[in-house]
């Protein structure tokens, strides 16, 4: 009787070992490039290594492959109940299921017990923003815009337009090119929206696909570099500098 019980325990232990081994086997070691190029099936548990944090939101964060370039970025969704603890510049290994949330590629943290975020180096150097023109970020050019989804980009020579796109999104137009296109900016991160007519030498942000549109999201006020000081931002030191 006792012998049977020991054997059944052994059988259960063996089964548990097999289950955990097959779970480990199902985790696919991949790259952000391969995820964004459609080489990995949705809902696959993936491992991406040595990616670097470029922006942190209230319910997730953006990482990029350190080699940067097209298809190098992805959003790591943690949920607002589980806000991210990483910081810009952290180098991470991440395990979680790869999902397409309404057409936006994510690794989804909270819904899988096997998910993890491991910071391997807290002091990495995030890649330089990639300079793009507004046409490359537009929803009407999805093949091009997909390359820059979740990538930190720079757009130069912009004028803010008096167009409210709703839900915190607003609009700017390029100047100085043969073909000046419009750019959608959005407010995933808190930043002071400049008034219409403001000229910007450059704007840095991450591109997010949300509610059927690609939008560029500045991470903070310092991501907007103004050509002229907007009237709402004039300080005493600006006025004193005039005399």
Can you tell me which of 186, 194, 204, 230 binds Ca ion, judged by CB under 5 A?
A: 186
Q: Tell me how far apart the terminal alpha carbons of the chain are, to the nearest angstrom.
A: 99
Bridge partners of 207, per DSSP, are 149, 216
If binding is defined by CB under 5 A, does position 106 make contact with Ca ion? Answer: no
CA dist 177 and 50 (Å) reads 37
- Among 88, 32, 80, 33, which residue's Cα sits nearest to residue 60? 80
- Our CB check for Ca ion shows the closer of 22 and 80 to be 80
Q: Binding-site residue total for Ca ion (CB under 5 A)?
A: 6
Q: What is the smallest separation between the CB atom of 211 and Ca ion, expressed in angstroms?
A: 9
- Structure-token pair, residue 241: 């500098």
Q: Which one, 103 or 195, has the nearer CB to Ca ion? A: 103
How many Cβ atoms are within 10 Å of 135's Cβ, its own excluded? 17
DSSP code at position 50? E
Q: Which of 51, 57, 105, 206 binds Ca ion (CB under 5 A)?
A: 105
Compute the least distance from the CB of residue 188 to Ca ion, in Å: 6
Site string for Ca ion, 145-164 (x = CB under 5 A): ----x---------------
Of 46-54, 120-128, 157-165, 179-187: span binding Ca ion (CB under 5 A): 179-187
Is residue 187 at the binding interface for Ca ion, with CB under 5 A as the rule? yes
Min dist CB 20 to Ca ion, Å, is 32
CA–CA gap between residue 148 and residue 152 (Å, rounded) = 8
Residue nearest to Ca ion (CB): 168
Nearer to Ca ion, 180 or 210 (CB): 210
Q: Which regions of 80-212 does DSSP assign to beta strands (E)?
A: 91-101, 104-108, 116-121, 130-131, 152-166, 169-174, 182-185, 199-210
Site for Ca ion, rule CB under 5 A: 105, 149, 167-168, 186-187
């Amino acid at each position: 009787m006792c012998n049977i019980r020991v054997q059944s325990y052994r059988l259960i232990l063996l089964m548990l070992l097999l289950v955990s081994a097959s779970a480990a086997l199902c985790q696919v070691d991949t790259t952000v490039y391969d995820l964004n190029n459609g080489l990995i099936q949705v809902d696959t548990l993936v491992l991406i290594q040595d990616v670097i944090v470029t922006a942190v939101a209230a319910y997730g964060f953006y990482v990029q492959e350190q080699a940067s370039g097209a298809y190098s970025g992805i959003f790591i969704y943690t949920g607002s109940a589980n806000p991210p603890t990483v910081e810009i510049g952290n180098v991470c290994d991440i395990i979680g299921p790869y999902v397409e949330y309404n057409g936006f590629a994510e690794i989804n943290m909270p819904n899988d017990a096997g998910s993890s975020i491991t910071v391997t180096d807290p002091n990495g150097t995030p890649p330089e923003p990639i300079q793009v023109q507004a046409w490359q970020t537009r929803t009407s050019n999805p093949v091009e815009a997909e390359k820059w989804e979740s990538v930190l980009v720079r757009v130069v020579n912009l004028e803010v337009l008096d167009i409210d796109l709703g839900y915190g999104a607003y609009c700017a137009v390029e100047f100085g090119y043969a073909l000046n296109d419009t750019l959608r900016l959005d407010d995933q991160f808190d930043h002071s929206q400049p008034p219409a007519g403001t000229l910007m030498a450059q704007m840095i942000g991450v591109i997010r696909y949300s509610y059927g549109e690609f939008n560029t999201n500045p991470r903070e006020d310092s991501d907007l570099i103004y050509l002229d000081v907007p009237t709402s931002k004039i300080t005493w030191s600006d006025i004193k500098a005039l005399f």
